Structure 1
Amino acid sequence: MATLILASTSLYRKALLTRLGLAVECVAPGVDEDSFKTKGLSPQKLAEDLATAKARAVAGQNPGRIVIGGDQLLAFQGEVLGKPGSFENAVNQLLRLSAQTHELVTAMTVIGPDGEAHLHTDVSRMTMRPLDRERIERYLRLDMPLDCAGSYKIESAGVSLFESIVSADQSAITGLPLIALTAILERLGVKVPGEFVKDAK
């Protein structure tokens, strides 16, 4: 079986796949995400369309290969929250999310060797603790999640900001729903777990 292709340069998503013993090649999809964000789509539809566009863009250059595309959006009160980009914007995002529930929408599209698309979406409900500015600033200095939607890194100290997380697949929160991915890959003839052993550090 040829190496899987991940239509992303995300180290987090690649790490999730290597956890399953799967060898993966990362390819930047080159999709203009901003053009999708002007279409007035719901957060879930936007994530799904982006995941599919990324997978199709890479699959078009790699016929006969299995390509995995993913996208993740944070939705709060019907609005998609982007990456803060600055410390002060991150403070304001977390003050807004404090003691509230938001949704983390993780969409994944797998293109099989025959070109058929397999789409799966996981919506996680994320409830934050009440947060004051001092606690927020202390957290931000530790993780510096300025390139993360919602201004937190759930796989790091950001988990301490939450009161509860409800998700059908915890791995979806960090980038890819591995339970659904395993089922799709097995239908496509891929053995999971695989036999790829990550180089020892």
Structure 2
Amino acid sequence: MNKPADFKGTNQTEVILASASSARQQLLENAGVRLAKLLPAALDEEAVKEALKQEGATALQVAETLAELKARKVSLSNPGCFVIGADQMLECNGIWFDKPVDRDHAAAHLKALAGKTHQLQCSVCVVKDGQRLWHHNETASLTLRALDPDFITRYLDAAGEEILQSVGAYQLEGLGAQLFQRIQGDYFTILGLPLLPLLTFLRHNEVLA
């Protein structure tokens, strides 16, 4: 695999991804963004989600809040850096889905989503010295085709543990493409990061040439 081109800008501000997501890391590095490090934020996401849900927040509002909280937390211990936070929520008919914890949970996700349209609500945020500089939200709509139990079993066998990193138990960039009947929305947003608006922000701040 060829190494991504180095499009280093004139600004020496370091960029940190407030996440342990290898998918988001790869998207950024493939686009020429040089990350100083990956630092997942120590954040009780489930508690935040539950509190916001009780307050009547939408799935998109939850994604935006979590993205900012992650970036802000990492930013406070990394002064002078651009810290990128991102989050994604899956909503289907008013029900919020979390990342599956094991294979059985993944199978249940796919069974529940099969034949239906769901929304991926995604938010990205950049924080510096504890202050939010910029954020962007996007929504994608995806329709899974009808899936029989045998297909779900074969898919999970072939996809392996990687699907546990996807909130919908699918990976569109791989075998997960076979699950879908229709997709409306930005490809990068579906993968978990609205990349193009983020690159525009980084160029405007001379992180990228």
Same fold? TM cut 0.5: yes
Q: Show CA shifts across 1:51-85 (max 9, x none).
A: 00000001111122111000111111112111222
1:63 pairs with one of 76, 79, 82: 79
CA distance in 2, matches of 1:101, 1:48: 22
Paired residue secondary structure (1:149): coil
Structure 1: 5+ residue runs without aligned partners? 193-201
Extract unaligned runs of 5+ from structure 2.
Answer: 1-11
Number of residue-to-residue matches in the alignment: 191
Structure (1/2) with the larger helix percentage:
2
- RMSD over aligned Cα, in angstroms? 1.6
Give the corresponding residue for 2:41.
29
Matched, 1:76 2:76: no
Percent same amino acid at aligned positions? 34
The one-letter amino acid of 1:158's match is G
Map 1:11-30; keep pairs closer than 5 Å: 11-24=22-35, 25-30=37-42
> Using a 3 Å threshold, how does the CA distance of structure 1 residues 84 and 35 change in structure 2: closer, same or farther?
same
Deviation readout 1:95-146 (Å, 9 max, x if unpaired): 1111110011111001246834311111110111111111111101111323
CA distance in 1, matches of 2:130, 2:164: 39
Inter-CA distance 46–92: structure 2 relative to 1 (3 Å threshold): same
Please, which of 152, 168, 182 is the counterpart of residue 164 of structure 1?
Answer: 182
Structure-2 separation of matches of 1:114 and 1:48:
16
Contact 2:159 2:175 in 1 (8 A): yes
Question: Which position in structure 2 is the counterpart of 1:94?
Answer: 110
